[in-house]
Structure 1
Amino acid sequence: MKPFLKIVALLSITLILSFTFIAEKANDWLIDNTVYEAQVFNKGKDIVLANGLITRKIRMSPNAATVEFRNDVTGENMLRSIKPEAEVTIDGKVYAVGGLTGLKEHGYLKNEWIDDLETDESAFQFKNYTNNPIDRKIKWSKNKEFNLATKGFATGREIVLEFKHKSPDLKKIKVFVHYEIYNGAPLISKWITIENNSDKAVTVDGFKNEMLAFPEPENAVDKPEQWLRPNMHVESDYAFGGFSASSANHTIFYEKDPEYTSQVNWNLETPCLLESKLKVGPNKLLQPKETFESFHTYELLLDGTDRERNSLSKRKMYRLLAPWSTENPIFMHLTSTDSTEVVSAIDQCKETGYEMVILSFGSGLNMEDTTAVNIQKFKNLADYAHGKGIELGGYSLFSSRRISDAVDVIDKKTGKPGGAKFGNAPCLASEWGESYIEKLKYFLDKTGFDLLEHDGPYPGDFCASTNHKHHKGYEDSQWEQWKMTTDFYHWLKDKRIYLNAPDFYYLNGSNKCGIGYREVNWSLPREQQIMLGRQNIYDGTWEKTPSMAWTFVPLTEYHGGGKEATLEPLSKHLLDYEKHMVQNYGAGVQACYRGPRLYDTEKTKELVIEQIDHYKKYREILNSDIIHLRRPDGRSWDGFMHANPDNSEKGFVMLFNPTENTIDEVIKVPLYYTGLTEFATIAEKGKKKGKKYELNRNYEVDLSVKIPANGYTWFVIN
């Protein structure tokens, strides 16, 4: 069994806290997580959620409140004080949900204080809880060869805490606080539901589904330019408007805690209170017998400060919560909808081993055209593709376009269209927006399309219109548009329709987002495209798995650049075509190979087949997580390594040489995350007989490599 890395705090003379790993006999969840099973049990006055990696204790009396949140790997406690379990604003009034009062110190929490705490009589009071296995949130099943998920949904335990209020006006309003603790990861999710059992409508003006008073990671007397955050990653599924969790965040806020008067910061400005909430809204009118459900907040506890380890933890989280994101079909982007050209592209995909054709932007596809003629045309093409074993899908633009003054997002400041993320954009919560979604559903259903590439999905625009069908005004506009979008994406998953979206909707059904690149860079000369593309891969796979990202390859001219920037005619630029495919498929990252064809001559066809055969041979390891070796800088070798302790091939190293000279040197290869402990057999370029290496106690080997000028090499590790 692999030794586990436990963090040990080392106190330097400068009082700077640092971490180091020392070996113990327990399992590292990033290598073998099978022993970490979620449990919920009563212990005295507490409900305990635990899985061997984290523990969260909720005191049940005199009201429910989290009294411990511990990282069981490091022993670190994430609480310094007690806050309510949640907060709701109903009909303009704020109510705590649960919580305990009476603490006189908020900088630390002693166990013996807890029994003396009291309930806030104005808060919602805890009544009971239920404990059940986790159920799937999105209907999706793994049944395609290019999906590498081990499970169809996350497993573990869910508890639901029920709260009621003593006020006559609220006695028929119930608030439920939901927790999920997962098998195999230091991860908890939390959300609330509000049930209106009264005979009148109420308005849910706002809510906070998490309030966590964490210990400050630094004691800044003055206000620093940037504050350190707790050693945890927090995000929610209310995410949009970005390519990463941080840029798509609209709910996770680090606030001041006015109760914490003993903090070091002179002006009591330490942002040491984590709140998960909306900036505005939802301003939801909750009818009698109706239930409101908040977004879900996810809390992943980290066990150190190592960037690779922490980002790998996040990637494991996405594999767990969004298993559909492991689907990674080999696709091309076709620039035409001419039936003859589509059939030809399908035939080329069949002959070379590709799996999907995407009718790209600019191809002429219009999914909003639901006429019988248009539907029949694309149904015929989808049927032809399916007969060849190829999937077919296409592109639809939503956000960055103008429809009309009556439909478009209205700017709150001007009262006129404009001011949206992309300038002008339609409001999805308008009647037009509802019709748009229904047209796409109808088109996809009737044609049998396998994929939607949804450009400009709802990006988070507020809309101040008071005339749109599905929102009342500014305050509820963002919530209602997000809800319509995610309902649509859940429908796609239920239908097994693949979803590309340039936005962070993974936790609500998206399969893939952009890896992160500047579009006009694809108009640069081919040599620069290749080098910059490899930087994009290296940088974009820190917090995305290979299957979660797409990159780009302009077979034809894109954003200008002329002949120097394009690969067509392909037979004239085989070396550059090969370099694109080697680094993309070698990273497990699919690219939008955008053009009219995959090959133009037999020699080009042979090249494509060779690359696809290689990728399929090593598909599982190439879709495994990336360990970053050296970032491309044009001056020396660069590369990365895939690692997967559960796979037959434990590792796959890709090395590149962008210089004019052969590189011949010894490099250190870190093998810890391959699961190997004593020895590794490493074979260059798939040779049947590899060389045996002994791992040092940092789980590294010294590997002699020879990389040709402007070339590459690769190694398989067993």
Structure 2
Amino acid sequence: MPEEDTSPIPVDWLIDSVTRGATLSRCSNETATISLNNGLIRRAFRLSPNGATVAFDNLLTDQAILRGISPEARMTVDGTSLDVGGLEGQPEFGYLRREWVDQMTSPPDALQLMDVESGETRAPFPWRRCRHDGERPWPSPGVRLSMRYGSPTSPVEATIHYEMYDAVPVMAKWLEITNVSDGPIRLDRFSVEVLAVVDYESCVEGQKGWPYPTLHVESDYAFHGMTATSADVTTRWLPDPRYTSQVNYRLESPLLLETSLPAGPDVEICASETLTSFRTFLVCPDSTERERRGLTLRRFYRVVAPWTTENPILMHVRHADPESVKTAIDQCADVGFEMVILTFGSGFDAECTDPKYLDQLKELADYAHDRGIELGGYSLLASRAVSETDDIIDFETGERGHGAFGNSPCLGSEWGQQYFDKLRRLYEHTGLNILEHDGSYPGDVCASETHPGHRGLSDSQWTQWQTITDFYRWCRERGIYLNVPDWYFLNGSSKNGMGYREVNWSLPRAQQLILGRQNIYDGTWEKTPSMGWMFVPLVEYHGGGEAATLEPLRDHLDAYEAHLAQNFGAGVQACYRGPRLYDGEDTRVVVKRWVDFYQRYRQILEADLIHIRRPDARDLDGYVHVDPFGEIRGLAMVFNPLDTDVERSWRLPLYYTGLRDSARIREAEGESQTYPLDRDGSITLPVRVPAQSLTWFVIESC
């Protein structure tokens, strides 16, 4: 095993190529210690007298993240609590000195380290690549460390897997819990991660909300949220009673990180069988500045969930009869759209098992594929009542109607099992390529004791999560694209809502445009452009009448073009919901103009956004896409919402383009000019934007 290099990488990992990969090394100055290290972060493990994390450092900020040693994991088996690994005897929990570790001992009742193995990273599920994406490798390159724990008196062994990835400050962790006894055991609870994290601020009295800027914690066990934060149900920041020197008077500073299920799993594991936990991801930003922190998270998603870079140009066709669908397919093929979704309310029935209906859908799918178009449809999972015997049951009342969306079916019910069988049969028979899965499973628990898919309340969330994620992973293995208005990105979803209020699409067209740009601007701080969809109401949606809708398209071509421009200009796909994309040659020319623009600049338009000025209808607004590794380094979009022309100087922040001294910039398809970069990587650019219009600038190296 090579000796560890503890120096940080000498370049900015967000804009420069990083040639140093993640490695497993021995720590030269520490006894029986190994580390995972990629030049950005490192995590060190003592191997004797037991396995334990003894350091977790951000190498770029030269700051420790860890202040104390804890068990590597926890579990409760048949009512008995078990720690996995760890050391005891630390005299102070405000910091951790290296020499203390040599004097520490193994907790007598903890599972002991038995074996260490390393290798390549492992993909959590297969992903079939069959459409344009960001060309990220899968599984994500890096190194894996697996540490197996057990005890002669314990009925279980636990293997803890760690992965550290190349060129990003990210690592993953998950458990495999194996029953090594002769009979079944019940796994009541488990914690995947246990970390005693350093203080970020001094708070004597306590406060509402604690910031943790040194860590972003996320798992693939997430639901009922349009953001990582709102969907997070596994991250727990707890008081650490061992930390008696903290400034908080009541010793309640929440500085002990544990990642665990809200309830359960409370499942039986038969002899020789293994349960695999969810995966926890730790992202370690090197800055508290909002844009740089956001770029770190966006790189995280591109690396560990590269299917999120799939970004097909899609239309929501309003009616699902063959004639309407073929019209939509033909128009999409004509102007360069790539996908047709049989939208909600169209008449598409994903649960129909009639062979004639399935054959009709197969004919439509074949028709679409022959023209280079992917085809799929919409299905509603949650937020509907199915039956008294199949809906989720509230524990306290014994009644339906108490879920996240009110009434919802239980995925472990007989109906739930049949529903997923129907979806699998539908997609296998027809060859459809996309599922827009509304709901989705929002984490509802169910107190029924008669559903075949779960035993009772305490195992109902875990088993339903397994059902939904197994299905999504089945889809990705077959190349089925997933639109899911929930945070299922780490389990195969490519897109959820960018973040908008649906009834806003019933507002007058001019308001929709400003609010739409605000939604894109606000939604791309932590999402990449390809991770969020927008909406364009070609026909009336949630009311509003003629003032809100675009049909007839030829009569509202200015507003239609503005929607196309601001969505394609952001690299964001929208649900163009209606019966057609164009209603005449003039409309067709406009649609094709912006599709061609997007196709020409696709690589840079799907790159990250640097936010310049948020839309407020009072002045210019805009952003700049940046790609330090692309042929085109940047593309800035500038919008003028005013009724008068605007001519002024605008500051363009170009640091994240990777350009050092100068940039070659052209407006639209005009001639390029060379501009020197200021010390902060920005330039001052003269711009002139006509009233109620936009322009764009292409940035290249000199």
TM-score range, shorter chain: over 0.9
1:376 aligns with 2:359: yes
Distance 1:261 1:648 in 2: 55
1:52 aligns with 2:35: no
Distance 1:521 1:453 in 2: 21
Corresponding residue for 1:707? 689
Corresponding residue for 2:20? 36
Distance 2:487 2:419 in 1: 21
1:661 aligns with 2:649: no
Identical residues among aligned pairs (%): 49
Corresponding residue for 1:4? none
Equivalent residue in structure 2 for 1:597, among 580, 591, 594: 580
Query: Residue 562 of structure 1 aligns to which amino acid in structure 2?
Result: G
Cα deviation code 1:542-576 (max 9, x no counterpart): 11101111010000000000000000000000000
Distance 2:496 2:429 in 1: 26
Corresponding residue for 2:698? 716
Corresponding residue for 1:14? none
SS at match of 2:617: coil
Within-5 A mapping of 1:339-354: 339-354=322-337
Query: Residue 159 of structure 1 aligns to which amino acid in structure 2?
Result: L
TM-score, length of structure 1 as denominator length: 0.95
Cα deviation code 1:212-245 (max 9, x no counterpart): 1011111111112222224111100001100110
* Residue 135 of structure 1: how far off its partner (Å): 2.2
Corresponding residue for 1:399? 382
Corresponding residue for 2:51? 64
> RMSD between aligned alpha carbons?
1.1
Structure 2 contact 42–57 (Cα < 8 Å) conserved: yes
Corresponding residue for 2:672? 690
| Unpaired segments ≥5 residues, structure 2 | 1-7
Which aligned runs of 4 or more in structure 1 are off by greater than 6 angstroms?
A: none
TM-score, length of structure 2 as denominator length: 0.97
1:74 aligns with 2:61: yes
* Residue 418 of structure 1: how far off its partner (Å): 1.3
1:164 aligns with 2:131: no
Distance 1:664 1:94 in 2: 68
Corresponding residue for 2:542? 559
Equivalent residue in structure 2 for 1:338, among 308, 316, 321: 321
Distance 2:589 2:35 in 1: 60
SS at match of 1:314: helix
Query: Residue 624 of structure 1 aligns to which amino acid in structure 2?
Result: A
Distance 1:467 1:595 in 2: 43
Structure 2 contact 640–692 (Cα < 8 Å) conserved: yes
Corresponding residue for 1:617? 600
* Residue 467 of structure 1: how far off its partner (Å): 0.6
Corresponding residue for 2:139? 153
Structure 1 contact 149–319 (Cα < 8 Å) conserved: no
Distance 1:642 1:437 in 2: 40
SS at match of 1:483: helix
Distance 2:296 2:459 in 1: 34
Equivalent residue in structure 2 for 1:238, among 221, 241, 257: 221
Structure 1 contact 139–490 (Cα < 8 Å) conserved: yes
Structure 1 contact 153–322 (Cα < 8 Å) conserved: no
Structure 1 contact 135–155 (Cα < 8 Å) conserved: no
1:633 aligns with 2:619: no
Structure 2 contact 391–407 (Cα < 8 Å) conserved: yes
Corresponding residue for 1:10? none
Structure 1 contact 33–185 (Cα < 8 Å) conserved: no
Equivalent residue in structure 2 for 1:287, among 270, 274, 290: 270
Structure 1 contact 400–422 (Cα < 8 Å) conserved: yes
SS at match of 2:429: helix
Structure 1 contact 105–260 (Cα < 8 Å) conserved: yes
Within-5 A mapping of 1:488-567: 488-567=471-550
Structure 1 contact 84–97 (Cα < 8 Å) conserved: yes
Cα deviation code 1:159-217 (max 9, x no counterpart): 110101242xx2x4211111001011111111111011221110110011111101111
Corresponding residue for 1:643? 626
Structure 2 contact 136–302 (Cα < 8 Å) conserved: no
Equivalent residue in structure 2 for 1:412, among 395, 410, 416: 395
SS at match of 2:167: coil
Corresponding residue for 2:106? 119
* Residue 25 of structure 1: how far off its partner (Å): 8.8
Structure 1 contact 654–715 (Cα < 8 Å) conserved: yes
* Residue 470 of structure 1: how far off its partner (Å): 1.0
Corresponding residue for 2:5? none
Distance 1:525 1:556 in 2: 13
Corresponding residue for 1:483? 466
Distance 2:139 2:611 in 1: 28
| Unpaired segments ≥5 residues, structure 1 | 1-23
Structure 2 contact 38–164 (Cα < 8 Å) conserved: yes
Distance 1:279 1:491 in 2: 26
